[in-house]
A = this chain, B = another copy of it.
Amino acid sequence: MANISDVARLAGVSPMTVSRVINHSGHVKEETRLRVLRAMKELNYVPNDLARSLVRRRTDTLALIVPDITNPFFTTVARGTEDTARKNDFRVVLCNSDEDPAKELEYIRMCVSIRVDGVIIAAAGDGSRKNLELLDSFEIPYVLVDRKVDGVQADVVTGDSRMGAFQLVKHLIDLGHRDIAMITGFLTTSTARERRDGYRRALEEHGIPFREAWVKETSYMRNMDFTLVEQLLDCTPRPTAIFAANNFLAVQVIRGLRHRGLRVPEDMAVVCFDDVDPYSLVEPFLTVASQPAYNFGTIATQLLIERIEHGEGPAPSPRSIVLQPEVIIRKSSGH
């Protein structure tokens, strides 16, 4: 594999001149430039980015760490990230933590050892704090996306989970429901907490008591504990509506209901956070609080790149961007 010296030799110049041609830096006479380009082509030369990054102390690489790469919400974030990164000449390494802080830590270690320029992370939970401190200690900038982390000061792009949850539950209440249960992700994630808070506030503002037992907590992932739905159905009184805190939970809820022979919305109203992929669902059906996932990605990436490139002077203090979800009312909540 040819290196820069081979090219230089063939073109009859110094490696530095070749470097200038590659990077469009400094002055190079047009004639020499062409000679170098010809030599590069002839040798099928591709610069070695390891060497380049080593000496430049910069890799032009970002890492995106998400808790679940099979969730369309996060793949959409990933697209936003990637598109924005590419526009700014950054690469993206995509990592999947499986909602597991330990696996997340491994990836963060990797980020350090391959010297990424920055990290965008939807943290596994509050346990991610130590992981993030590792980034801090290496002065690698990062941006939180979708989820805040307790005790961590950083740029953050989130949805207004409290508001979205409030509106969804209010919608149910307006429809006459009073016995509304909730299934949410582990409360170690900020979104689960905020959605529960929004749920709670909506209830209380309408004089409905908040019952701890009606909030079931499980993994946000698709392999959630199926029996939770059963448990809710066995409550007395039985809830007439269920608020699922994300898309996968909603689908599981509906499956659980079907399994018991219950129809949506006739026997049980269902609403949820995040879009449930309409392509897979065949027909849009669920009442949801839809989040602008793509923008989560683009904005987070912009913030990160700003930080990476902000040069001297004091770094901008942590910014918090909150995007509003859009409540889309469809059949699953009844009317």
Residues in A lying within 8 Å of B, measured CB to CB: 1, 44, 46-51, 53-54, 59, 69-70, 72, 75-76, 78-79, 82, 91, 93-94, 96, 109-110, 112-115, 137-139, 222, 248, 251-252, 254-255, 258, 276-277, 279-283
Contact = CB atoms under 8 A, between A and B. Distances in A.
A83 to B, nearest CB: 11
13 contacts: A44-B138, A46-B138, A48-B113, A48-B115, A49-B114, A50-B115, A69-B75, A69-B78, A93-B93, A93-B94, A222-B279, A251-B279, A258-B283
Contacts of A94: 93-94
Contacts of A72: 70
Contacts of A69: 69, 75, 78-79
Contact of A46 (B70, B109, B258): B109
Contact of A51 (B54, B93, B139, B252): B54
Given A50-B115, A54-B54, A114-B49, A280 B277 contact: yes
A43 B51 CA distance: 25
Contacts of A91: 110
A276 B280 contact: yes
A252 B280 CA distance: 9
Nearest to A54: B50
A110 B48 CA distance: 10
B47 A113 contact: yes
A44 to B, nearest CB: 6
In order of increasing CB-CB distance, the 5 nearest A-B pairs are A280-B280, A49-B113, A94-B94, A50-B54, A46-B112
B282 A254 contact: yes
Contacts of A49: 113-115
A47 B137 CA distance: 14
A48 B113 CA distance: 5
A34 B283 CA distance: 62
Nearest to A61: B114
